[in-house]
Chain A
């Protein structure tokens, strides 16, 4: 208990001293997670929308496949991407292994199903009367789709936030594909794992606090925005 209290106090001091190493780790984490969330959202939101809004053969199977992919462990994704980008493999010449790009690729695979399935849920929950109302007011298919999308906006933003929360907290992909190189691919979670292995808790606790504060802040902003403009 004393160890935790001491580490916590030292961690707070470390954060407020704006330690360059802490800042570098936080920056790498935010950058990598932000980019992977952005790309996953750019692909996952339209994909989820098309699946939810459209009616086609194999729709249920596709949803089951996406739901199954939600349970993919990060180490499996790490291994899968590694098999494509390691030196001797098909994309080895691109020199992606142990770079931020490799982490981004792995994290996109991790959160794309999250964004897509949560978008499907958000769209499916939209009352059928919105579609009917838009149509009877003269909207074409695209305009009707825009109405549905707009009504589902909070659910979609929640999907993106959930995805960001997942990638910023994951450790397997970052470790396997990034290599935890100081200043380059060291993220908050890989740094925490490393510090724990070394028995140095102060930096690990400091990064844990930052991770929690970041997550809390994003959710707070979302709920504030939702409360002002939504239901």
Chain B
């Protein structure tokens, strides 16, 4: 198993926003995470991305228990990349944005250039390589954010509502890219969504969260949909 979450809880003040007795995530699969607003989907992604620590419980990544110390987490974060629901690009060029993760990993300039061109090509944004990132549309921003994440060859990609507020064309482009990278690079993907058709067309498995708890009744509905 890639991830095992055991008795995980997360609280904001006195409110428990996440309470997961057991969750297992297999390597190389695509997982959908469904649930109403405020169900705890983003919190769960933050925990899986090692950006937030759970209040209680254990996380095992590659069967190794995760300790939430900054120096330890940095190495883990280099394997797991999260893309926000409304990703933000650095106020620089598209090239510099995609380069960021590669530069901090000490990859040579020549190799960086090749990777950046490849990943921008993958998301259909190679024509924008020298464009100012803050001048891009919502769909283009989402695609560059995806390229920026893919450039660092993550083992896990966490996408928080990757197609929300996008037109049909951009939605299809994002979905196709996610499918492609899972098939070709065996990247494990977890994405949150409200669209059941995305779950059935993209995900191998689905989790349903309601008030911070995983529910099984709707999982059955997902199987019927498929």
Q: How far is the CA of A114 from the CA of B81 in the complex (A)?
A: 38
> Are B84 and A135 within 8 A (Cβ)?
no
Whether, in the assembled complex, B194 has its beta carbon less than 8 Å from a beta carbon of chain A, the answer is: no
Contacts of A130 in B (CB 8 A): 88, 90
Count A-B pairs with CB separation below 8 Å: 55
Q: Which residues of A contact B (CB under 8 A)?
A: 127, 129-130, 132-141, 143, 147, 150-151, 229-231
23 A-B pairs in the complex with CB atoms less than 8 angstroms apart: A129-B84, A129-B86, A132-B51, A132-B82, A133-B84, A135-B51, A136-B49, A136-B51, A136-B77, A136-B81, A137-B77, A137-B81, A138-B74, A138-B81, A138-B104, A138-B105, A138-B152, A139-B100, A139-B104, A140-B74, A151-B90, A229-B91, A231-B134
> Are B74 and A129 within 8 A (Cβ)?
no
- Nearest CB of chain A from residue B20's CB, rounded to whole Å: 21
Q: How far is the CA of A2 from the CA of B95 in the complex (A)?
A: 60
Q: How far is the CA of A229 from the CA of B101 in the complex (A)?
A: 21
Query: Which A residue's beta carbon lies closest to that of B149?
Result: A137
Q: How far is the CA of A127 from the CA of B86 in the complex (A)?
A: 12
> Are A230 and B77 within 8 A (Cβ)?
no
> Are A138 and B78 within 8 A (Cβ)?
yes
> Are B134 and A137 within 8 A (Cβ)?
no
Whether, in the assembled complex, B148 has its beta carbon less than 8 Å from a beta carbon of chain A, the answer is: yes
Q: How far is the CA of A230 from the CA of B51 in the complex (A)?
A: 29
B86, B91, B101: the one contacting A137 at CB < 8 Å is: B101
Q: How far is the CA of A228 from the CA of B90 in the complex (A)?
A: 15
- Nearest CB of chain B from residue A123's CB, rounded to whole Å: 15
> Are A143 and B134 within 8 A (Cβ)?
no
> Are B101 and A138 within 8 A (Cβ)?
yes
Q: How far is the CA of A151 from the CA of B133 in the complex (A)?
A: 13
A129, A133, A136, A231: the one contacting B91 at CB < 8 Å is: A231
Whether, in the assembled complex, B87 has its beta carbon less than 8 Å from a beta carbon of chain A, the answer is: yes
- Nearest CB of chain A from residue B2's CB, rounded to whole Å: 17
- Nearest CB of chain A from residue B98's CB, rounded to whole Å: 10
> Are A143 and B90 within 8 A (Cβ)?
no
A136, A140, A150: the one contacting B90 at CB < 8 Å is: A150
